[in-house]
A and B are shown apart, each in its own frame.
Chain A
């Protein structure tokens, strides 16, 4: 289960709406409790995929390191990533799967005509062949 504060959920949605029709992306910071993870903060990032941002996103290794430093500074971990699928379902594509890392939580949410829609979270299986979907539990509260 991925535990996500309502305020962070709204920030992720707003990022997707703002960047539409391009894909938005960002880092999820928080704590990994094994089965359950809690998202405590976000690092919204710029989509570095300049050639096809409408259906691709890219986060550079430099931005990954930046997100790790932000997590470490707050005593948290870098636990995953979010990105939007403009006018496409909130599930991993084959391209998502080919480029995914295990362990991370991947939030994917659909944005339809600049309106955020369903949001789902996924973890790549160790065999790289498929994902397990993890439920998202929304809780009240402001960002930490």
Chain B
């Protein structure tokens, strides 16, 4: 399925300065794998060392958060838009 992956501003420098990337994928996981295969510098900002999506990386298919769907196994349809949206966290300790 041809899908569009929206790249958040802080990561565009690692994706050829593109706002979005068109990919072929069957699931969200496939799309993210294809994205990080094409742009390997993205990987460390999206995934922790144990291979999981970082907690502050939120992924939507159209307007639905994949946490409430099948997570990275969420199937995508032709023309879907996958958005990577930051949440921001930190603290003094």
**How many B residues face the partner with a CB closer than 8 A?**
24
From residue 1 to 46 of chain B, which have CB atoms closer than 8 A to chain A?
8-14, 41, 44-45
When the two chains form their complex, are residues A88 and B87 in contact, meaning their CB atoms are under 8 A apart? no
For residue A110, which residue of chain B has the nearest CB? B92
Chain B binding surface, main DSSP class:
mixed
Q: Which residues of A contact B12 (CB under 8 A)?
A: 103
CA distance A144 to B57 in the complex (A): 31
Which of A72-96 touch B at CB < 8 Å?
77-78, 81, 83, 85-86, 88-89, 92-93, 95-96
Residues of B within 8 A of A143 (CB): none
A20 interface contact, C-beta 8 A:
no
B92 contact from A60, A64, A85, Cβ within 8 A? A85
A95 and B86 within 8 A (CB): no
Chain B 65-91 interface mask (CB, 8 Å, partner A; 1/0): 100000000000000000001111111
Instruction: Give every chain B residue within 8 A of A86 (Cβ-Cβ).
Output: 92
User: Are B91 and A103 within 8 A (Cβ)?
Assistant: no
**CB pair A102 B90 closer than 8 Å:** no
Given A55-B93, A95-B93, A126-B41, are A102 and B10 also a contact pair (CB < 8 Å)?
yes
- Contact partner of A56 (CB less than 8 A), chosen from B9, B10, B56, B89, is B89
A120 interface contact, C-beta 8 A:
no
Residue of B whose beta carbon sits closest to that of A25:
B88
Q: Could you say which residues of chain B place their CB within 8 Å of the CB of A64? A: 85-88
Q: Which residues of chain A are within 8 angstroms of B85 by Cβ–Cβ distance?
A: 61, 64-65
* 15 A-B pairs in the complex with CB atoms less than 8 angstroms apart: A55-B91, A81-B88, A83-B90, A86-B92, A88-B92, A88-B93, A93-B91, A99-B54, A99-B89, A99-B90, A101-B45, A102-B14, A103-B10, A103-B11, A128-B44
Query: Which residues of A are in contact with B by a Cβ distance under 8 Å?
Result: 23, 25, 49, 52, 55-61, 64-65, 77-78, 81, 83, 85-86, 88-89, 92-93, 95-96, 99-104, 106, 126-128
Q: Which residues on B are within 8 Å of A, measured CB to CB?
A: 8-14, 41, 44-45, 54-56, 58, 65, 85-93
